[in-house]
Amino acid sequence: MTNTIEVTLSGQPAAKKWGDSNPISTTVEGYQIHIQQLDERASLPLVQTSSRKIQGLGIDAVTLTGEWTVEQQWAFYLGFVTAKGGQTVVWASDDSELEHRKLAYDWTRNIINLPPQDMYPLALANHAIDFIKSVATGKVEANVIIGDDLLEAGWVGIHAVGRASVHPPVLLSLDYNPTGDENAPIETALIGKGITFDSGGYSIKSSEGMLTMKCDMGGAATVTGALALAILRGLNKRVRLILCCAENMIGGNAFKLGDILTYKNGTTVEIVNTDAEGRLVLADGLFHATELGAKKVIDAATLTGAAMMAVGSDYNAVFGLDKEYVSKGLAAAEVEFEGAWPLPLDKFHRNTCPSPYADTANSRPQKGGGMGGASNAAGFLSRFVTEDGTGWLHFDLAGAFNGSSNAKYSAGATAMGVRTIARLLTED
């Protein structure tokens, strides 16, 4: 056997000496997790919380022994790893799916957890290019538009949000085309919010609210990780990855409250809150996907606190005008054992942030954007896809990051959503 601590699953309750409700007991070799007669799905939270407790004892290397399903092993891994790293899990079974998940998950989590001094817009774009190329050699072409070149190309949202930073804003448009046919249709476009640090701009955040804003590029990391996992699972369709990358900073040339942006599709937007910047950069990415003629469009973003208030940290919020596609997104999450929950979105949400000076404001001039903030943000985004929103899905990543540890996860990124989006890419 190895020199690591062994962890097994038991279908029996722990001995009375461990307490009436303790799911963990020790053995000569290590630990047992007593899932008793729970079915696989019901056992996963117990396995994950138990792994957190085991790692919390200072144990960083384990071998899973005995009978484990793939999902039970993965649940253990999710709870065991930390932002500081250094944990090792030896799988109970030789399964390529576990290794593929680990590769995509670890990249996503590590990229989100990097400090903003290291993860700025161009660095994010380059990391994404390198990662996708590493799993899809010879099938990737990337175009990066930087700084003032964004204005020439018409991407006013990304430019406005990022222009006050010493690190220029970036639009990455990456083409994964395994077909070899340059005329092949784009089956899906993935758009990710890549705000590598969010001060809130002139609508400045509090110190406490700003502390974790390195995570605001979580959408970009999530869709990149999802594409990588889908490729590792055998994706054979053309996908366009679009990352909208910027630092939202304060400076003499920063965008201001009262400014009006005119987007490439003609939509005018009054800025009433510079901290509602994610939707401004995503609008460019969504319209780019529409221009390209992508059959389906999926965006992901750490977009609103309202979504976190609505669904908590165990779910990502899902929106769409195409209710059939929303159902597919929820079904994909169910199969992949990830939390996802639908929140309301109808066409009238496009008009819930009115402006007397422009077609729409980017929010409401109220703390947190007022009531229904997550739906209002999704309604704003819906202006930049097809009129009826067919084939468009919006993930507000409420569960992508934890500011502090909880019973299921260590502090930091969770990568929740990677598996769901990967399945949508391979199943559609």
Provide the token pair at 330: 């929820």
Amino acid 2: pLDDT:
56
pLDDT computed for residue 209 by the predictor: 92
pLDDT tens string 243-264: 999 999 999 999 999 999 999 9
- The reply to whether 279 belongs to the active site is yes
Residue with tokens 């059959």: 295
By the 8 A CB rule, do 303 and 397 touch? yes
Cα separation of 240 and 292, whole Å? Answer: 9
Half-sphere exposure of 377 (CA within 13 A, CB side): 32
The token duo for 33 is 């997790």
pTM above 0.95, yes or no: yes
Residue of 205, 233, 264, 295 marked catalytic: 205
Domains of the chain: 5-94 (no CATH), 105-427 (3.40.630.10)
Angle at alpha carbon of residue 335, lines to 53 and 112, rounded to 5°? 55
Q: In the structure, what pLDDT confidence band is assigned to residue 162 with cuts at 50, 70 and 90?
A: very high
Query: Choosing from 279, 328, 408, 423, which is the catalytic residue?
Result: 279
Q: How confident is the model at residue 184 (pLDDT cuts 50, 70, 90)?
A: very high
- Clarify whether 109 is annotated catalytic: no
Summarize pLDDT for 376-410 with one digit per residue, the tens: 999 999 999 999 999 999 999 999 999 999 999 99
DSSP codes, 378-418: HHHHGGGS-TT-TTEEEEE-TTSEESS--SS--SEE--TTH
Band of residue 56 on the pLDDT scale cut at 50, 70, 90: very high
Residues 6+ apart with CB under 8 A from 56: none
Given pLDDT bands bounded at 50, 70 and 90, which one contains residue 21? confident
